[in-house]
Amino acid sequence: MPLPAASGVYCTGIVTLATQAEHSTTRRDFLYVATGAVGAVGAAAVVWPLINQLNPDASTLALASIEFNLANIPEGQSVTITWRGLPVFVRHRTQAEIDEAKAVPLADLKDPETDEQRTKPGHEEWLIMIANCTHLGCVPTGQSGDFDGWFCPCHGSHYDSAGRIRKGPAPKNLVVPPYEFISDTLVQIG
């Protein structure tokens, strides 16, 4: 029997055998192919869990969605909460801030979005955004900058009272996470 010339790794060795055993009977060929194929299936079944263990674990996933009570945030105040390990601004906006945000023409915006698109109908006073600057991820300072919104001290991005980018290097508005109101004072984020 001539020696197959290829890798010496066990599984591939079997497959190689299967492809090289030209002079053998068909039955032998079939046996080799079948063994190699079953071995390959087994190897794949072993590899998957070894990769899947890198995915977020059950304790992390359990915190993928959180509930937050808004009742204790007075008008004109913000809190920063943690969601999926990220800081999230929850701002109880004043009427002046809402009016100001609504008055801005879309043409003035770098990343055009209306105020309505960034809040929930009937709950316009609540602005909920991931607090990482869309430039390089710093946390902007609240109620500062040229547009009565947020100012990122790292590279000088200015956001308005709806968290939209107005000036500076950031390309996008502050990101609004998926959320919904369970009741007037309870939101579920994520």
Residues noted as catalytic: 155
Q: Which is nearer to another protein, 17 or 170 (CB)?
A: 17
User: How remote is the C-alpha of 64 from its chain's centroid?
Assistant: 11
Integer-rounded Cα Rg, in Å, for the chain is 29
The contacts of residue 93 (CB under 8 Å, 6+ apart) are 75, 76, 101, 124, 125, 126, 127, 161
Q: What's the rounded Cα separation, in Å, for the pair 33 and 11?
A: 11
- Piece of 25-33, 89-97, 113-121, 129-137 that binds another protein (CB under 8 A): 25-33
- Piece of 29-37, 92-100, 115-123, 178-186 that binds another protein (CB under 8 A): 29-37
Q: Which is nearer to another protein, 8 or 122 (CB)?
A: 8
Indicate which single residue of 23, 26, 44, 57 sits in contact with another protein (rule: CB under 8 A): 57
DSSP state letter for 23: T
Closest distance of CB 8 from another protein, Å: 3
Contact 130, 117 (CB under 8 A): no
Please state, as a whole number, how many other Cβ atoms lie within 10 Å of the Cβ of residue 180. 11
Q: Does 34 help bind another protein (rule: CB under 8 A)?
A: yes
DSSP state letter for 108: G
Indicate which single residue of 19, 62, 108, 155 sits in contact with another protein (rule: CB under 8 A): 62
Kindly state the tokens that stand for 139: 């946390």
What strands lie across the sheet with 179-181, from one edge to the other?
A: 66-69, 186-189, 179-181
Indicate which single residue of 26, 44, 54, 103 sits in contact with another protein (rule: CB under 8 A): 54
For residue 51, CA distances in Å to 10, 11, 46, 48, 97 come to: 22, 20, 9, 5, 48
Q: Which residues ranging from 66 to 95 are in contact with another protein (CB under 8 A)?
A: 66-67, 72
Indicate which single residue of 32, 83, 89, 147 sits in contact with another protein (rule: CB under 8 A): 32
Q: What's the rounded Cα separation, in Å, for the pair 73 and 81?
A: 12
- Piece of 1-9, 111-119, 126-134, 154-162 that binds another protein (CB under 8 A): 1-9
Q: Which is nearer to another protein, 96 or 182 (CB)?
A: 182
Q: Applying CB under 8 A, which residues contact another protein? A: 3-5, 7-8, 10-11, 13-14, 17, 28, 31-32, 34-35, 38-39, 42, 45, 49-50, 52-55, 57-60, 62-63, 66-67, 72
